[in-house]
Structures are given as C-alpha cells and as structure tokens.
Amino acid sequence: MNGERSDQEARRAARARSGASGRRHPRSGTEPVTARSPLRLRLLLSAVFLPLFTAAAVLFGLSAARWSTGDSPDRGVLVALTVLCAVLALTAAVDLLVVARRLRRERHLAHPAH
C-alpha cells in the first residue's frame, strides 16, 4: 500500500513538473491542475497519419507532374492537394517527435535513475 501510494505520488509529481517550466499562459483557475494531454492517442494518430499524408502527397505530386491539358482535376488543384498533404505530413512528424520527447521525459521523471 505504501509503495503503491509513493508510486502514484511520483507520477503526479512528474506530470506536474513536466509543464511547470516555460509555461506560456498563467493558469486562469478554471482548468484542472491535473489536466493531461492524451499523449498515447496523439502518438498513435501521428504514427498512422504520417505515412498516409506522405503517400498522398507523393501520389498527388506524381499526378500533377503527369498532368496534361484537358485532364480533370486541374493541375492547380493537384498541386494544392500536394502542398496540403505535405504540410499535414510535416505536422504529424513534428507532433510525433514532440509526443515521443514528452513521454520519454515523463518516464524519466517518474522513475529517476538511482
């Protein structure tokens, strides 16, 4: 019981410290102190959508490169879709790195090396 309680306290303290430095906005008092971002869900979504958006960007880019007069959709639409998918893939990649770093930091703070 005592070991379980100290483990929970260590996790709570690690989570509390993880966002304590460099806080962008002061607390307004309406959000819960222990609010947590669903990091594992963000990790899963980024891992799924990164290859999906990358493949879509490549396919739309190839379609735009092979476009000829009279083809539908217009080349401008294909280029716009290519750029959109590339931006979304980049966003997923950055989020994947951020979430992985936060999960590593939480694990390190919850279980510090002796």
Per-residue pLDDT of the chain (114 residues; tens, 9 = 90+): 555 556 556 555 555 555 545 566 676 777 676 767 788 999 999 999 999 999 999 999 999 999 988 888 999 999 999 999 999 999 999 999 999 999 898 888 777 765
pLDDT at 9: 62
Nearest residue to 60 (alpha-carbon basis) of 98, 86, 33: 86
pLDDT at 69: 86
pLDDT at 8: 58
Per the listing, tokens 């958006």 go with 53
Q: Domain range holding 78?
A: 2-17+47-110
In DSSP notation, 13-81 reads HHHHHHTTTT-SS---SSS-TT----HHHHHHHHHHHHHHHHHHHHHHHHHHHT--TT-SS-HHHHHHH
- How many CB atoms sit inside 10 A of residue 32's CB? 6
46 and 99 in contact (C-beta within 8 Å)?
yes
Residue 57, token pair as written in the block = 């960007």
pLDDT at 15: 52
Residue 101 domain-assigned? yes
Does the pTM of the predicted model rise above 0.85? no
Residue 69 domain-assigned? yes
Residue 26 domain-assigned? no
Residue 38 domain-assigned? no
Structural domains in the chain (count): 1
Residue 32 domain-assigned? no
SS3 111: coil
pLDDT at 107: 83
pLDDT at 100: 92
Residue 29 domain-assigned? no
pLDDT at 5: 54
Residue 40 domain-assigned? no
pLDDT at 108: 80
Residue 25 domain-assigned? no
pLDDT at 30: 74
Which residues, 6 or more positions from 39, have their beta carbon under 8 angstroms from its beta carbon?
Answer: 99, 102, 103, 106
